Amino acid sequence: MQSVTPTSQYLKALNEGSHQPDDVQKEAVSRLEIIYQELINSRPPAPRTSGLMARVGKLWGKREDTKHTPVRGLYMWGGVGRGKTWLMDLFYQSLPGERKQRLHFHRFMLRVHEELTALQGQTDPLEIIADRFKAETDVLCFDEFFVSDITDAMLLGGLMKALFARGITLVATSNIPPDELYRNGLQRARFLPAIDAIKQHCDVMNVDAGVDYRLRTLTQAHLWLSPLHDETRAQMDKLWLALAGAKRENSPTLEINHRPLATMGAENQTLAVSFTTLCVDARSQHDYIALSRLFHTVMLFDVPVMTRLMESEARRLLRWWMSFTSAMSN
């Protein structure tokens, strides 16, 4: 049976008409194909311990002292709508086996902080965390690599070097090049080793091609679907798939300004949320501004016909709209 590769999946998408030929995307696929082939042909050995001994080692923070040179990865950066996440997913889906992880970068950092809390009092906790990732995976795919928090910045210098030292290959997407990460941040000098490690172990590629595929999708779509019934919901699901690049199967709860916000989907800087969550629940303008920084597209479901009894809800809807459009224009 013919193996699935990034190139074969890319050509399939072109043949099916779901994507159009794009020279920059073609170049990115070529680079991802090289990484894929190198990983297939020279997989680094898994950690030596397994079973009970591996679990005991993890419990006590025992570290593997074997170092590996990782297959050189790829850091793709560019504006929204350039297909970065789709390209990374082609690569990820092509890789056989389970020793791979695809994570939104924010979720990756949440796990790191949880692990650090559990490892309080341990010597070199970042080394232990890197060991634990290596025990699970040989490839990390980060979507939307972005650093704004000083705590994250202080951790990443050591953590990225530790991950690469264990032979983990990185493929990442971002809106900005590595040298611009955490620009003007406090104590940025302590973050610079993370940038150096990324550039040492990854090729850096700008995927801006002059075509914003998400914007093209939106300009070709009906942006107001009414009335609410199965057909309009199916159209919303189809639009979500085109914008987010994945089916709307999960409904994560976000933490916005230290308060939970229930979603109907959150993927690839695209948010699906109900009118009730956004406008009926008590939300401040600060919440709307925070959302505008996290998502470039919001799909709002189940908007009712407004009545005089819904002045507060209508006011929140207007406040959200003004916050979002203001952020997009800046």
Residues 171, 238 share a domain? no
Residue 330, pLDDT > 60, answer no
C-alpha 322/C-alpha 55 separation (Å) is 52
Band of pLDDT at residue 64, cut at 50, 70 and 90: very low
Tens digits of residue pLDDT in 298-321: 888 888 888 888 988 988 888 888
Q: Kindly state whether residue 251 falls inside one of the protein's structural domains.
A: yes
Of 173, 206, 239, the domain-final residue: 206
Q: Kindly state whether residue 228 falls inside one of the protein's structural domains.
A: yes
More confident residue, 216 or 174: 174
Residues 232, 97 share a domain? no
pLDDT of residue 216: 54
Q: Kindly state whether residue 278 falls inside one of the protein's structural domains.
A: yes
Residues 168, 30 share a domain? yes
Residues 26, 147 share a domain? yes
Q: Kindly state whether residue 75 falls inside one of the protein's structural domains.
A: yes
Of 206, 237, 264, the domain-final residue: 206
Of 180, 206, 232, the domain-final residue: 206
Nearest CA to 88 out of 169, 155, 18, 6 is that of 6
Report the pLDDT averaged over residues 228-239. Answer: 82
> Are the C-beta atoms of residues 147 and 156 closer than 8 Å to each other?
yes
pLDDT of residue 117: 94
pLDDT of residue 49: 45
Would the CA dihedral through 273, 274, 275, 280 be positive or negative? negative
Residues 160, 122 share a domain? yes
Strand order in the sheet with 73-77: 100-104, 139-143, 169-174, 73-77, 202-206
> Are the C-beta atoms of residues 327 and 286 closer than 8 Å to each other?
no
Which residues lie across from 266 on neighbouring strands? 271
Q: Kindly state whether residue 1 falls inside one of the protein's structural domains.
A: no
Whole-structure pTM value: 0.64
Measured from the Cβ of residue 309, the count of other Cβ atoms closer than 10 Å reads 7
What's the structural domain count of the chain?
2
30: CATH: 3.40.50.300
Residues 202, 254 share a domain? no
Tens digits of residue pLDDT in 94-147: 999 999 999 989 889 989 999 999 999 999 999 999 999 999 999 999 998 988
Angle between helix axes 84-94 and 23-41 (nearest 10 degrees) is 30
Residues 38, 171 share a domain? yes
pLDDT of residue 2: 59
Residues 202, 311 share a domain? no
Tens digits of residue pLDDT in 25-34: 999 999 999 9
Residues 151, 28 share a domain? yes
DSSP 198-257: HHHHEEEEE---S--HHHHHHHTS-S---S-SHHHHHHHHHHHHHHHSS-----PEEEET
Residues 240, 199 share a domain? no
Report the pLDDT averaged over residues 81-98. Answer: 91
Tens digits of residue pLDDT in 265-275: 888 778 899 99
Structural domain including 250 reads 213-329
Q: Kindly state whether residue 30 falls inside one of the protein's structural domains.
A: yes
Residues 323, 251 share a domain? yes
Residues 195, 219 share a domain? no
Q: Kindly state whether residue 285 falls inside one of the protein's structural domains.
A: yes
Tens digits of residue pLDDT in 45-59: 545 444 454 444 444
103: which DSSP letter?
E
Residue 193, pLDDT > 70, answer yes
